[in-house]
Structure 1
Amino acid sequence: MSSILTNNSAMVALQTLKGINKDLSDTQSMISTGKSIASAKDNASVWAISKVMEADVKGFNGIQDSLSLGESTLSVAANASETVTDLLTDIKGKIVAAQESNVDREKIQTDIDALTDQIKSVVGAAQFNGLNLVQGTEDVNILSSLDRSSDGSVTASDIKVSRQDLTTSAGVAGTTALTGGVTAANYGTITDSTGATATTTTPATGSTAQIDFAGTAADGNVYTLNIEGYSVNYVADVSGGDDDDAIRDAIKGQINALGIDGLTATDGSGTGELVISNTNAFEDFDISIVQPSSGGTMNISAINAETGLTSTSGSIEQRAQTLDFDTSAGISEGDTFKVTVGSSSFNYVAGKGETMEDVAKGLKTAIDSNPPDGVTTKTMYDEATGQWSLAVDDSTGGQAFSLAVTTGGEASGGLFGLDNLDVSTNEGASAALDNIETLITNSIDAAANFGSAQGRIETQKDFIEGLTDALKSGIGTMVDADMEEASARLQALQVQQQLGIQSLSIANQAPQSILSLFR
C-alpha cells in the first residue's frame, strides 16, 4: 500500500543516515582530539582512571623539580666539604712542618690562620637558594615520591639528608643535670694510674712496682725479668758473694742500661727490694718475672695500690689519668661533657648520631685549645673491649680533676677547635697534629655522606623519569585513539553518508509516483 502521509522508506533511510552521521561525528572527534575517550560520557570508568593517573603524572613532574633542587643543593654542599678537606690537608702540611724546632713557627701560624679563615668563608658561602647543609644539625627532607595505596590514599616519601656541621662553633652547654650522676652505668669513670676510680686530683708522678728478692739463693739460680719486650737475666753466684742485694743491684743495673724513656730502677727501702718507676705520661709497661727453680723467691708487690699486679706479672701504668667512656651508653644530641682540670673547665657538646669516639676526641680538642700549664692529652682505644678513653696528664700534679655530664645543649661544630690550633710551641704543635687528623676525618665523613645522598637522589630521579614515562604510556593505551583505524573508519563512514543521502533522496521521491495514477 502506498501512502502520501507515511513514507516508511524515508524514515528508515533517515534513521540510518542519523546513525552514520553520529558515528562520523565521533570519528572526526577522535581525529581532532587524538583520544578515543575524551570525556566521562565516552567511558566513565576508564576516563576516571586516566584522570587519576594524569594527576599522578603532574605530581611526579613536581617531584622531579624537587629532586633537581635537592641535587643542586647537595652538589654545593659536597663541593664545599671536599674543598674544606683540601684546605685542612694543607693545614696538616703546615703543622707537620712546625714539628721541627728550627722553623719559623710564627709564619707557619700565619698561614694556618689564613687557611682557617678560608675554610670559614667556604662553609658560610655553601648555600643554594638559602639552604646550607654544612651548617647546623637539623635534617633536610627532599620530596622523592608519591605512593598511592589500593584504597586510593596518597602518601609522600622523602629522602632524608643529614646536615654535616662543618662550623667551628663550640656549641652551647646543656644545663639539665644527668639523673644518677656520672657512673659506669651511664657515661664513664675516671681511673688513675693506681687503678683507683672517681679520683679528684691529678697525680704528679707515675706508678711503680716493687720487686722483692728474698730467701737464700743458690748457685746457678736464674732470675729473669721481662719488661715490655725487653728481657733481663741474671745467674746467681752465691759462692762468689751474691746475696739478695747483689742480685737486686745486678738486675737494677741491667734495667737502667736499657735506656727506656721514663723507666728507672732504684733501691727500695728494705733488703733485696727493687723499685721500678714509670713516669711516662701515656705509656704503660707490662712486666713479668720467672722465679728461680729453687732457693729464694722473687715477687712483684704493689706500691700506690697498683692495679693488676700479681706475684708474677702486671703492668706499670702511665702517669696520666683516663676518662674511660662506657661502651654501652647511648649519646643524644646536646649531651654536654664537662672536664675540669684545676680551675679550668672544658666542654664538648655531642651532635646527632655521635659516639664515645667523637666525645673523647672532642674533649681532647677542647682541652688542647687552651690547656692549663703542664696538661697534655691523648685519646686511646681498646680493641678488645671497644672502649674509648681520654688520657689527661698533669705534670704539675695536685689539681682538681672531674667529669660532669648535662643534657639539653646545642651541639659543637664538626670543626670545633680549628680556631685554636697553635703551633707556636712544641706542645701546641704536637697537639695540633693529633687534632687536625680528627678535623680531616670529620670533613671526609661529611663529603662521603653528601656523596651517598647524591647517588640516592640521582637514582630516584632516573626512576621517577622512567615511572612518569610508563604512566603516560599507560594513559595513552587507555584513552588515545588508534589513528590508522580512525582514518579507515572515516573514509568508510563518508561513503556510507553519501549512500545514506542517496537512499533518503530515493525514498523521498517514491510518493511522486502516486501522481501518475491521477493522470
Structure 2
Amino acid sequence: MSSILTNTGAMVALQTLKGVNASMATTQNEISTGKSVSSAKDNSAVWAISKVMEADVSGFKAISDSLSLGESTVAVARQASETVTDLLTDIKGKIVAAQEENVDRTKIQTDISALRDQITAVVGAAQFNGLNLVQGTEDVNVLSSLDRSSDGSVTATNIKVSRQDQTTTAGTFGSGTSIAANAVVADSATAVASAANTAVVTYADTWAAADTAQLTVAGVDLSFTATGTDVTDVASYFAGAINGLGLEGVTASNTAGVLTISSTRAFEGMNVKSTATTAGDGSSDITAVNGAGPTGTNTASDSTIAQRSEKIDLSTVAAVADGDGYKVTVGSSSYNYIAGKDESMEDVAKGLKTAIDGGSIAGVTTKVVQDATTKAWSLQVDNDGTGSASLAFSTAGNAGGKASGGLFGLDKIDVRTNAGANAALDSIENLIQSSIDAGANFGSTQSRIENQSDFIGKLTDSLKSGIGTLVDADMEEVSARLTALQTQQQLAVQSLSIANQAPQSILSLFR
C-alpha cells in the first residue's frame, strides 16, 4: 500500500544514513586522535585503566630524574674516595720511608702534610648540587620506585645511600647513658707502669752431685747437672745462661738459690717451665709469677710471665651505636673515639689506638688484639718508662656523642721521631682500609642505582606499550573501515533520495 502520509522507505533509509554517519564520525575521531578510546564515553573501564597507567608513567619519569641525580652524586663521592685512597697510599710510602733512621724525616713530614692537605681539599670539594656524601653520617635516600598494590595504594621506595665520612674530625664525646661497662681495664689495673713482670724459681731442699734441673724460657731449653749440693750453683747457672741468650726484654738474677726471671716484653707473655731430677728431695718450683703465687693456669712447674702492657677488654655482646663514645685516660690526658654507624668493637679498639698514638705520649705504645677463642677485641697499652715510670690508667664511655671522622687521626701523623714513625705505620693501614671501604660502598650503591635506572626506563617503555595496546587505534583497520563507510554513506544517500521520490509516483494515478 502506498501512502502520501507515511514514507516507510524514506524512514528506513534515513536511519541507515544516520547510523553510517555516526560510524563515520567515530572513525574520523580515531583517525584524528589516533586512539580508539580517547574519552571515558568511548570505554569507561579501559579509559580509567589507561589514565592510572599514564599517571604512573609520569611518576616514573620523575623517578628517572631522581635516579640520575642520585647516580651523579654517588659517582662524585666514589671518585673522591678513590682519590683519597690513592693519596693515602702515597702517604704510606712516605711513612715506610721514614722507618729508616738515616733519612730526613722533617722533609718527609712536610710531604705528608701536603698530601694530607690535598685529601682535605678533595673531601671538601666532593659535592654535587650541594650534597657531600663524604662528610657527615646521615643517610641519604634516593627515590627509586613507585609500588602500586592490588588495592590501588601507592608506596614510594628508596635506595639508601650511606654517607662515608672521610674527614679527620675528632667527634664530640657525649653525655648520654654510660656505656663504660663495654670497655673495662683488665685485672682492675689503675696504672700502666714500666716495671717488669717476673717469675721466681726457687731451688731448695737437698740436692746431690749428678742431680739435674731443666728450665725452659721462651721456648729455649736449658739444663744443669749439679756437681755439689749448693742450690746457689743451680740458680746462678740458669741466670747466666738466660742472660747469655740475649732474649729481647728478658733478664735473670740469682739470690741464694732463688732465680728471678724478669720480662719487659710489651705485648707478649713468656712461658717458663721448671723440672728437676734429684736423688734426694731437691725441688725447683716456680714459687711466684707476676707478683703472686701460681694460680689458675699457672702452676709450680709451668707458668707464664704476663706482658708488661695493660689491657682494655671490649665487650663481645654489646652493640656499637652511632655516637657511642669511649675514653681512655693515660697519665693526665684523655683520648676519645666516638663510633659512627655500622661500626664494631674492632673499630672502637682501632679508633682508641689512633687517638692514643696521636697523643705522642713519651714511652707509650699501643696494640689492638683479637682473642682467638672468644673473638673479643682488646686494646693493649704499654709504657716503657721513657716519660714516666707509671701513668694513671682508666676508661669511660657515654652514648649520645657525635661520631669521629672516617680519617680520624690522619692529622696527628708525625714521623719525625722513631715512636711517631712506628705508630704512623699502624694508623695509615686503618685509614687506607676506611677509605677503601668507603669507595667500595659507593661503587656498590652506584651500580645499584644504575641498574634501577635501567629498569625504570624499560618499565616505562612497557607501560607506554601497554597503554597503547589499550587505547591506540589500529590504523589499518580504521582505514579499511573508512573506505567501507564512505561507500555505505553514498549508498544510503542514494537510497534516501530514491525513497523520497516514491510519493511523486502517486501523482501519476490522478492524471
TM-score range, shorter chain: over 0.9
Rounded to whole Å, the distance in 1 between the matches of 2:502 and 2:448 is: 80
What SS does structure 1 have at the residue aligned with 2:328? strand
Matched with 1:64 is 64
* 1:135-150 matched pairs, under 5 angstroms: 135-150=135-150
Q: 1:290 to 1:513 in 2, by over 3 A?
A: farther
> C-alpha distance in 2, partners of 1:225/1:475?
90
Q: Does 1:114 find its partner at 2:114?
A: yes
Aligned to 1:155: 155
- The alpha-carbon deviation at position 469 of structure 1 amounts to 1.6
Instruction: Give, in angstroms, the shift of residue 140 of structure 1.
Output: 0.4
Confirm or deny: 8 A CA contact 1:206 1:317 kept in the other structure. no
Does the 8 Å contact 2:208/2:228 carry over to 1?
no
Is 1:381–1:387's contact at 8 Å kept on the other side of the alignment? yes
CA distance in 2, matches of 1:489, 1:300: 112
- Look up the match of 1:509: 501
Question: CA shift at 1:272, angstroms?
Answer: 2.8
Distance 1:264 1:292 in 2: 25
Q: 1:452 matched to which residue of 2?
A: 444
1:350 to 331, 339, 363: 339
Paired position in structure 1 for 2:263: 278
Looking at structure 2, the residues matched to 294 and 433 of structure 1 have their Cα atoms a distance apart, in angstroms, of 56
Q: Give CA-to-partner distance per residue, 1:112-138, whole Å, 9 cap, x none.
A: 000000000000000000000000000
Contact 2:207 2:278 in 1 (8 A): no
What are the residue-to-residue correspondences of 1:26-425 with 2, within 5 Å?
Answer: 26-178=26-178, 182-183=180-181, 187-191=182-186, 197-217=187-207, 222-234=212-224, 236-237=225-226, 240-241=227-228, 243-268=230-255, 271-292=256-277, 295=280, 296-301=282-287, 302-305=289-292, 308-394=297-383, 395=385, 396-425=388-417
Residue type at the aligned position of 1:207:
N
Which residue identity lines up with residue 182 of structure 1 in the other structure?
Answer: A
Contact 2:77 2:442 in 1 (8 A): yes
TM-score scaled by structure 2?
A: 0.95
Q: What TM-score results when the alignment is normalised by the length of structure 1?
A: 0.93
Mark the CA change 1:18 to 1:293 in structure 2 (over 3 Å): closer, same or farther: farther
Secondary structure (helix, strand or coil) at the match of 1:354 reads coil
Provide the C-alpha distance between the structure 1 equivalents of 2:44 and 2:277, rounded to a whole number of angstroms: 103
Identity of aligned pairs, percent? 62
Cα RMSD for the two superposed structures: 1.8
Q: Tell me, in whole angstroms, the C-alpha distance in 1 between the residues paired with 2:508 and 2:413.
A: 124
Q: What is the distance in 1 between the residues matched to 2:506 and 2:211?
A: 156
Secondary structure of 1:517's match?
helix
The residue matched to 1:465 in structure 2 has which SS?
Answer: helix
CA–CA separation in structure 2 for the residues paired with 1:367 and 1:101: 23
Q: Does 1:430 align with 2:422?
A: yes
Tell whether the 8 Å contact from 1:201 to 1:397 is kept in structure 2 after alignment: no
Residue equivalent to 2:11: 11
Shift of 1:225: 2.9
Separation in structure 1 between the aligned mates of residue 310 and residue 364 of structure 2, nearest angstrom: 11
Q: How many residues align?
A: 504
State how far apart, in whole Å, the 2-side matches of 1:512 and 1:217 are.
Answer: 160
Please give the secondary structure, in 1, of the residue aligned with 2:406: coil
Instruction: Please identify, of 488-497 and 109-118, the stretch whose mean Cα deviation from structure 2 is larger.
Output: 488-497
Q: How far does residue 255 in structure 1 lie from its aligned partner after superposition?
A: 2.1
CA distance in 2, matches of 1:40, 1:134: 52
CA contact (8 A) 2:180 2:398 kept: no
Q: Distance in 1 between matches of 2:67 and 2:212?
A: 77
Cα distance in structure 2, aligned partners of 1:289 and 1:45: 95
Q: What one-letter code is carried by the residue in structure 2 that aligns with 1:263? A: V
Secondary structure, counterpart of 1:474 in structure 2 = helix
What is the rounded CA distance, in whole Å, between the counterparts of 2:505 and 2:208 in structure 1?
A: 159
Cα deviation code 1:406-441 (max 9, x no counterpart): 121111101111111111111111111111111111
Over 3 Å counting, the alpha-carbon distance change for 1:358 and 1:504 in structure 2 is same
Q: In the TM superposition, what is the alpha-carbon distance from 1:365 to its structure 2 partner? A: 1.2
Counterpart-to-counterpart distance in 1, 2:12 and 2:436: 86
- Report how far residue 303 of structure 1 moved: 4.0
**Corresponding residue of 1:462:** 454
